[in-house]
Amino acid sequence: MVRLTQGSAAKETVYSHDPVAQAQAFVADGASWLHVVDLDRAFGDGDNLRVMASLVAALGPEVSVQAGGGFRTLVTIGAAIEAGMARVVIGTAAVRTPELLVEAVAAVGANRLAVGLDARAGMVAVRGWTERTGVRVEEAARRAIDARIRTIVYTDIERDGMLTGPDLEGCQALIGLGAQVIASGGFATVEHVIAARDAGCAGAILGRSLYEKTMTFPDALAATLSTT
């Protein structure tokens, strides 16, 4: 398992050489959803779909895998669904070829799709976060909603891997448009998880915080279920 900081391939940290074993450890701690990003595909350097499919097979039907990273055509989206992914996150293509969103919804259904919006200074960045576009996050979100995709994975790139807390203001702007927002980037503590929950986020993606043990998954999960 590899973790980047602020989306930079030059800031790579390897936490595990066995993604299946790591996934099983998360599931043993109570995880029923896993978010997996194919960094090779995102950066245009091959793909790891076979590894991801083996991960799905090893975890069984009780665990759902959300896959992102370089899914930019109907063929690759369909292949991921056939490989057992519960949901595919479309990032670059949602901005570069927005008509794909409508086609993908028709092909696999809106509930099997999410749009990944990764932002720097309010603008969407694409292709593994290496290219900044002139498209504002809210504009891209409206396109997704118009295509009937309601789930948006939102990341403030400057916070990613920094353990400084997620961009909840940005999340709430998208929630206000009618999106179900999964917050990503910056989570470090259970208090950050609680803040995301209270801000109305539908979910939170935890990465470095779990690998570096700034919080545990059971504690984070308990926080999402708590009403106090």
Q: What are the residue boundaries of the structural domains of the chain, listed by start?
A: 2-225
Residue 218 has pLDDT above 70, yes or no: yes
* Average pLDDT estimate for 154-164: 89
* Average pLDDT estimate for 182-189: 95
Each residue's pLDDT tens digit, 71-106:
999 999 999 999 999 999 999 999 999 999 999 999
Separation CA 84–CA 75 (nearest Å): 15
Separation CA 154–CA 192 (nearest Å): 15
Q: CATH top-level class for 2-225?
A: alpha beta
pLDDT reported for residue 94: 93
- Identity of the amino acid at 55: L
Sequence-separated (6 or more) residues with CB below 8 Å from residue 99: none
* Average pLDDT estimate for 53-61: 95
In the block, which residue shows the tokens 């099983």? Answer: 24
Q: For residues 76 and 162, is the Cβ–Cβ distance under 8 A?
A: no
* Average pLDDT estimate for 162-175: 95
* Average pLDDT estimate for 121-126: 89
Q: What is the dihedral of CA 52, 212, 115, 39, to 10 degrees?
A: -50
Each residue's pLDDT tens digit, 125-156:
887 667 888 899 999 999 999 999 999 999 99
pTM of the model: 0.89
pLDDT reported for residue 55: 93
Separation CA 202–CA 26 (nearest Å): 19
Each residue's pLDDT tens digit, 3-21:
444 444 444 455 567 889 9
Separation CA 218–CA 216 (nearest Å): 6
Q: For residues 205 and 153, is the Cβ–Cβ distance under 8 A?
A: yes
